[in-house]
């Protein structure tokens, strides 16, 4: 893990949500943290470069922002990396994880609308030669507030 100092951690703790919506958001954040605007920008650039942050910006509501669903494929171990690479190349795929189950490859497929989504899934099934389990969201029960980082647990391996 990249070494994060106190300013990095306070940035992450304070601004997973409610980034100030104003012309100079990083100056407003800096003021709250007792840092300079240049420092905040430099930290965010470094955290993004080190892939601690995937980005700074909005998280869109999947259900409203277009069509998406969770999908899974059951693939023999010998085929796994090849199939995972094919899934990664498929348009609209964002997450793709190996998990402990017969259905071992889990990915999220997105598209502009339902019709495009189904077309992409069918094209992928044809390419892979495996059936894709389609698990669209029926209801969401959580509110996305970002996630409190347990810094202490991370420091004592």
Partner 1 sequence: MNGLTSTDTASRASACPERLRSLLERGLPLTERPWLTLAEQCGMSEGEVLAWVERWQREGLIKRLGLVVRHHALGMRANAMVVWDLPDDSVAEVGRQLAAEPAVTLCYRRPRRLPVWPYNLFCMIHGARRERVLEALDAIVGRHGLQHIPHRVLFSLKAYKQCGGRYAREDQP
Least separation in angstroms between residue 60's CB and partner 1 is 6
Q: Does 119 bind partner 1 (CB under 8 A)?
A: no
Nearer to partner 1, 14 or 129 (CB): 14
Q: Does 53 bind partner 1 (CB under 8 A)?
A: yes
Q: What is the DSSP letter of 67?
A: E
Q: Is 95 in the site for partner 1 (CB under 8 A)?
A: yes
Q: How far apart are the C-alpha atoms of 53 and 153, rounded to whole Å?
A: 19
Contact 11, 20 (CB under 8 A): no
Q: How many residues bind partner 1, per CB under 8 A?
A: 87
94 near partner 1, judged by CB under 8 A: yes
Residue 123 tokens, joined:
């094209």
CB of 67 to partner 1, least distance (A): 8
Residues 20-49 contacting partner 1, CB under 8 A: 21-27, 37, 41, 44-45, 47-48
Quote the crossing angle between the two packed helices 25-33 and 6-14, to the nearest 10°: 120
3-class secondary structure, 38: helix
């Amino acid at each position: 893990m990249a070494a994060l100092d106190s300013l990095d951690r306070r940035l992450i703790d304070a601004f997973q949500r409610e980034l100030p919506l104003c012309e100079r958001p990083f100056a407003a954040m800096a003021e709250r943290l007792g840092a300079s605007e240049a420092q905040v920008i430099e930290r965010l650039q470094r955290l993004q470069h080190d892939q601690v942050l995937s980005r700074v910006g909005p998280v869109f509501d999947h259900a409203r922002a277009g069509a998406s669903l969770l999908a899974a494929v059951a693939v023999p171990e010998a085929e796994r990396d090849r199939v995972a690479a094919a899934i990664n190349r498929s348009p609209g795929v964002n997450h793709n994880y190996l998990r402990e189950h017969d259905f071992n490859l889990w990915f999220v497929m997105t598209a502009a609308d339902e019709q495009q989504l189904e077309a992409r899934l069918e094209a992928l099934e044809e390419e892979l030669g495996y059936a894709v389990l389609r698990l669209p969201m029926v209801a969401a029960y959580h509110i996305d507030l970002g996630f409190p980082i347990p810094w202490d647990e991370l420091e004592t391996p």
